[in-house]
Structure 1
Amino acid sequence: MNLVELTQRLHAIRDRNHWGPFHSPKNLAMAASVEMAELVEIFQWLGEEQSRQLAPAQLEHAGQEVGDIVLYLLLLCSELGIDMEQAVQAKLADNERRFSQ
């Protein structure tokens, strides 16, 4: 996954639709949260085992919501000047240090 290319494609969609004024960090964080809630809704009343064995339509829906979340996070990183790959690598290294004992 090339995050730079994905971000450029997102910016093209944003610019073509004149959404720039609405893509503040606050709005993008809220939009990502809404999409996360939509992902959670898929699992809301499922048991543990059911949540691991989604029906094909549910699995497709979950994938769409994950995609929405990631895209909003890419836009948020772009707006804040955060290098997503660097942030993820740093967090993973921190987790490895803290939880690999």
Structure 2
Amino acid sequence: MTKQLDTQLSNQTVQMFKILGDQTRFRILYLLETKEWPVNAIAQELKMEQSAVSHQLRKLKEAKLVKSRREGKNILYSQADAHVYDLLHLALEHAQHTQN
């Protein structure tokens, strides 16, 4: 008996990998693993323009991978789904393993 994959679930999974497949979004998620960051600090850490970081954060938020909260004048971003970090770490481990 052949195992069937639900089309909608397959599409959602592919979309998730597309989101994770962007280097900037990957680096942003990596930063957000351990603490909240304001967009200007993320931009400074990644040596990028704030507008470019904001654009990528918006995509991550739409994918429900990042959440935000207001603190005074700042908006702080943090991880929304810890499961994604399992994927990130597995991908990093795989890349490290294939380098050797």
TM-score, normalisation: structure 1: 0.33
Q: Which structure features the higher share of strand residues?
A: 2
Greater Cα radius of gyration, structure 1 or 2: 1
